[in-house]
């Protein structure tokens, strides 16, 4: 996971973007999943992204 211009996204080992930089928050990786959030802290909408295929 990488931050770019205040948003979080994911790049692979070559630096290619694999998940767009659109998330406002990212939380820990557990069992191949990462929690991502969009919105301000009071109304954050959370979801999960599988990172199993990103390597």
CA distance linking residue 17 with residue 40, whole number of Å: 24
- Strand pairing of 25-30 and 7-11? unpaired
CA distance linking residue 38 with residue 17, whole number of Å: 18
Nearest to 24 by CA among 49, 11, 6: 6
Please tell me the pTM assigned to this model. 0.79
Q: Which residues contact 20 (CB under 8 A, 6 or more apart)?
A: 9
Residue with tokens 């931050």: 3
* pLDDT, position 46: 94
Tell me the pLDDT tens digit for each residue of 1-44.
899 999 999 998 899 999 999 999 999 878 889 999 999 989 99
* pLDDT, position 53: 64
Please report, for the chain, the start and end positions of each structural domain, with discontinuous segments joined by +.
Answer: 2-50
């Amino acid at each position: 996971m990488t931050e770019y211009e205040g948003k979080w996204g994911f790049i692979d080992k070559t630096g290619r973007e694999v998940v767009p930089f659109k998330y406002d928050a990212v939380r820990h990786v557990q069992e191949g999943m990462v929690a991502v959030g969009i919105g301000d802290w009071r109304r954050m909408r959370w979801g999960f992204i599988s990172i199993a295929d990103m390597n």
